[in-house]
Amino acid sequence: MVELPRYVHAKRRRGGLELSFQKFRGTANAWPRVKLPGNPLSQEFVRKVSLCARLEANKKGEDWSWQFVDIMDRRHDLPAPQPDPEAFWKAVERADAVGLELSAGVRKTFSALIAEFKASAAYQLNIDENGNSRPGLADSTRDQYERNLDDIEEAWGSDPVADLTPVDVQKAIDAFRDTPSAGRVFRSVLSRLCSWGIPRGYGTSNPVEHTETSENAGTYDPWTPAAFEHFFQHARIGLHLPVYSGLFTGQRLSDVIDMRRPREGVTEMPLIAQKTGELVPVQIHSEYRAIIQAQNSDHVMLHLREDGEPWTYYGFKTAWQREMNRPEFEIFRKNRWVFHGTRKNAVNNLLEVGCSEARVAAIVNMSPAMVHHYSKKVSQFRLARAAMEQFEEGWAKLRPSVLGTVKIVGKE
């Protein structure tokens, strides 16, 4: 039998020879097997074995993550080799091709651009001089970028970035007509990617700037009183406090999950906003403090699961989505009541009680322009109520000139 390369193992099956690549076989650190072609003399086998030398596999809990290190020493995330080895090898070949393109410095494709962007400080975690991590993108934003970058690579991966036209982009955006918020995010990610590539030689202009998107894209409705009542009646208890935190502080989910339990007597919970990297002086409302104290916990983190362990961002998102998919929350899906809507509740509440737009922006860490956008509707309702109060007060004098001597129905 032909001598097999290192880490390649053979098993005889009824259908022939089964070959696989597996590091550290027979140890506690053994990798999952990577399926190889059955003919060890074929060119395909030789190529795939050479590519296996650039694989990396890491275990976290019960799950494995896979990466391919290309010729430029850039890492590309891969799907698991099982149960779909074809998709796995397709991703490996694509990652290898991107590395070769970058090495040659030629075609400047979307695949190459995405690889460079993911390896940059704009995308990856940054570590400051004190050893503290500062993300180029917040966890929640990176999650959105991952999904949309995959879609962009699937659509235009082998195409030069400079060849993309506004017509191409608009067609892609229009495909999101039934999910306008997803279309808004897709457009934003593509625009950021194209802009990032301009000074790096991938193009001379951003075609996304010449496209349009739905006016209502990305809008979320604030929760109604009935929504809050329904949620606290039907949702699992571990999700309750984060919703209260969203309502009383107006922070994004990624920042809510990172909140630490405030010490007794303090009036604020300082945190570093993931999206902006800025220090936010989160103020503690008296009723919010009472809700926190009712939790009766001394854990350093504020938001805990039912088992007393702190939520992670992705763990909370998974639990939230599972909860929202239950039949009891069909009304939430129908009315677009999502966690981010509590942020709009917080802004509206502050505006309703007369806070200035500058004060609201400081409390909820939102741009003044966005607060002004929210304030238009709140001001409309406030003016409408004031107008009705004034109408009621002046109606007695105005009525004769409008209705004359007409009697009120049911009265003499």
Q: What is the pLDDT of residues 180-189, one digit of tens each?
A: 778 888 998 9
What's the pLDDT at 128?
46
User: What domains lie within the chain, and their CATH numbers?
Assistant: 1-76 (no CATH), 107-219 (1.10.150.130), 225-374 (1.10.443.10)
CA dist 238 → 92, 244, 304 (Å): 40, 11, 6
Listed in order, strand segments (DSSP E) in 102-217 are 125-127, 133-135
Q: Is the peptide bond before 368 cis (omega within 30 degrees of 0)?
A: no
Task: Quote the CA–CA distance of 335 and 224 in Å, as a whole number.
Answer: 10
Residues 6+ apart with CB under 8 A from 211: 166, 169, 170, 173, 187
What's the pLDDT at 20?
92
What's the pLDDT at 332?
92
What's the pLDDT at 348?
84
Find out whether 199 and 116 touch, Cβ atoms under 8 Å.
Answer: no
Q: Model confidence at 57, in pLDDT bands (50, 70, 90)?
A: very high
What's the pLDDT at 131?
44
Task: Quote the CA–CA distance of 110 and 149 in Å, as a whole number.
Answer: 9
pTM above the 0.85 mark? Answer: no
Give which of 323, 330, 379 is closest to 351, Cα–Cα.
379
Residues comprising the chain, all counted: 412
What's the pLDDT at 135?
52
Statement: residue 238 has pLDDT above 90: yes
pLDDT above 90 coverage of the chain, percent: 31
Q: What is the pLDDT of residues 205-219, one digit of tens each?
A: 999 988 876 554 445
Higher-pLDDT residue of 343, 141: 343
pLDDT above 70 coverage of the chain, percent: 87
What's the pLDDT at 125?
52
Q: Model confidence at 126, in pLDDT bands (50, 70, 90)?
A: very low
Which of 152-156, 161-165, 290-294, 405-409 is predicted with the least confidence, judged by mean pLDDT? 405-409
Which of 25-29, 125-129, 278-282, 343-347 is predicted with the least confidence, judged by mean pLDDT? 125-129
Find out whether 205 and 198 touch, Cβ atoms under 8 Å.
Answer: yes
CA 234-236-238 angle, to 5 degrees, is 145
Statement: residue 402 has pLDDT above 80: no
